[in-house]
Amino acid sequence: MSAKERPIMAITMGDAAGVGPEVIVKALLVEQVFAVCRPLVIGDGGVVRKAIELVKAPLRVRSVVAPAEARGAFGSLDLLDLHNLDEVVPGRLSAACGKAAMEYVAKGAELQGGEVAALVTAPINKEASKLAGYGDVGHLEFLARLTGATEYATMLVSGSLRVVHLTTHYALKEACNLVTRERILGKVKLTHESFTRWGIKYPRIAVAALNPHAGEGGMLGSEEIDEIEPAIREAEGLGIDAQGPLPADSVFNRALGGEFDVVLAMYHDQGHIPIKVHGFEKSVSVALGLPFVRTSVDHGTAFDIAWKGVADAQSLVEAIKMAVSLSSGTGLIDT
């Protein structure tokens, strides 16, 4: 595949005080990444060069001013330098780092729809972005606000296990109150539309229950009867293959066994735990509902190990490969 045939993937640096710069450098030491795309890092040149020194990477930084200049040559790192950081203290919350990280994401979103085929994001720190004045809970909420997306969701992928989340960053008590017929139907429809667009013609969607044993006929909670089941029946009436509510303690094993293409989880930990137990290192986050493909690592800024040279880049490598697959129309693949 020639350089021009390989799609450009915009990769945002994330919070500079975390592991983002290090995992980006390490991911760009993987030749397979360059075989499928032209990586374009959006970040700060000084920070990127320090990360290269940290891991003693044989990479040459090549600054560009426009995405079309990205060559994607193995051994070099094409960088769109925003020059927006000075001093960075590893592992420390910083409004400056939070602001810079959000500026990388905004720039990456701005470039979509032209020469850039997809957006891949390294982790931001929600507390740091809040210190910088951003009220968005995370990447997806920020991107939804920028693009005007109204129905969106986070999907985690690890191998053949795919989990969409009804809610993500809410306190558990609040998340339970958000298990409503309207919200469930919206996420089921969004999941169906996304999977059909990615080449799975008749996606089989398992909808997890909220309560133990799917509520035991109302003995252990009424959400299954009042909210989840009516949403599933309505989805079925639209021609969507939605099944449930199914007990969460068995539905993920059933999905791994091939019964379902994706599981809709009711809250953050219900969906995150099985993904991370199944294959944390290779897990990837995929945004549903945005007008462009966006994938991300499935880990945080990891301040405790930041700038120590020990961060694992596998999740970022898989996120890049997934972004290439989805944006090129080759479909949803196992990572």
Checking if the pLDDT of 116 tops 80, the result is: yes
Average pLDDT over residues 59-74: 96
Q: For the chain, where do the domains classified as CATH 3.40.718.10 start and end?
A: 1-149+290-335, 151-279
288 forms bridges with which residues in the sheet? 153
Burial annotation 285-304 (CB, 10 A radius, 16+ → b, else e): bbbbbbebbbbbbbbebbbe
Which band of pLDDT confidence, cut at 50, 70 and 90, is reported for residue 270?
A: very high
Judge whether 194 and 152 are in contact, CB under 8 Å: no
With a cut of 60, say whether residue 334 has pLDDT above it. no
Residue ranges of E strands in the chain: 8-12, 38-43, 60-63, 76-81, 116-121, 153-158, 161-165, 204-208, 241-246, 262-265, 284-288, 293-297
CA separation for the pair 70, 34 (Å, rounded): 12
Residue 133 has pLDDT above 90, yes or no: yes
Q: What is the mean predicted confidence (pLDDT) over 327-332? A: 74
Residue 335 reports pLDDT greater than 60: no
pLDDT range class, residue 282, cuts 50, 70, 90: confident
State yes or no: pLDDT of 65 exceeds 60. yes
Give me the mean pLDDT over the 179-204 stretch.
Answer: 96
Kindly indicate the confidence band of residue 261, based on its pLDDT and cuts at 50, 70 and 90.
Answer: very high
C-beta of residue 145 within 8 angstroms of C-beta of residue 291: no
Phi, psi of 7 (to 5 degrees): -70, 150
Domain spanning 151-279: CATH 3.30.360.10: no
Which option is the CATH number for 1-149+290-335: 3.30.70.270, 3.40.50.300, 3.40.718.10, 2.50.20.10? 3.40.718.10
The answer to whether residues 20 and 301 touch, using CB atoms and an 8 Å cutoff, is yes
Percent of the chain whose pLDDT exceeds 70: 97
Give the strand pairing for 284-288 and 293-297. antiparallel
Query: Among candidates 77, 70, 84, 82, which has minimal Cα distance to 55?
Result: 77
- Residue 189 pLDDT more than 50? yes
d(Cα 218, Cα 216) in Å, to the nearest integer? 5
More confident residue, 149 or 138: 149
Q: Which distant-in-sequence residues (6+ apart) come within 8 Å of 287 by Cβ?
A: 139, 140, 143, 152, 153, 154, 155, 293, 294, 295, 296
pLDDT at 207 exceeding the cut of 90 = yes
Give the CB-side neighbour count of residue 50, counting CA atoms within 13 A.
21
Q: Is a pLDDT exceeding 90 seen at residue 114?
A: no
- In the structure, what pLDDT confidence band is assigned to residue 215 with cuts at 50, 70 and 90? confident
pTM, entire model: 0.93
Whether residue 143 has pLDDT greater than 70: yes
Rounded to an integer, the average pLDDT of 46-67 is 96
Q: Say if residues 72 and 38 touch (Cβ distance below 8 Å).
A: yes
